[in-house]
Amino acid sequence: MSDAMTKTDAPQDETKRDFIFIATGAVAAAGAASLAWPLIAQMGKAADTLAAGSIEIDLSRIDEGQQVKMLWRGKPVFVRHRTPAEIAEAESTNLADCPDPAEDSSRLIPKADGSVDPRFLVMIGVCTHFGCIPLGEAGDFNGWYCPCHGSHYDTSGRVRKGPAPKNMEIPNYTYISDTVIKVG
């Protein structure tokens, strides 16, 4: 009779053993995940980095003829509310005189409706020669002048004279409304 009992108890022992193995494995997997999560989470971008990834600029606060400088991703962004004379000068420039020719309109981002507002010029305020910050409303072309090595930029941010090889860069930006842009 004892042989009969051991034969019927054997499947129950295997079932208990399987349950213990599965439960132990599940607890070990949960423990490994709880230890790995902080290590993986710390590799993501910090909140201050995400916040600096884009900036919003209210163009209605910039008076005609005024320039504001904002910091975006550690670089200055110049936003210039150009006067009609500055726009006319930028549009009438002979591109053959420019080391890096570009139409003024190609340096402007269209609004959602496809129209372009030539009054506002948005660009990264870094000289393309060695990365200095040019001075606004200065130089031979009434645009920007880099005091480090003497590059001159016109009212469209195009290099006109000096060692700079390229025009000042236009950042990626979009119009959120008629008066607010989002850079980045």
Catalytic residue among 81, 129, 149, 152: 149
Enumerate residues 6+ apart whose C-beta is below 8 A from 71: 55, 77
**DSSP assignment string, 104-137:** GGGGS---TTS---TTEEEEE---TTT---PEEE
- Mark whether 149 is an active-site residue: yes
Smallest Cα–Cα separation from 138: which of 146, 130, 126? 146
Q: How many CB atoms lie within 10 A of CB 89?
A: 18
Instruction: List active site positions.
Output: 149
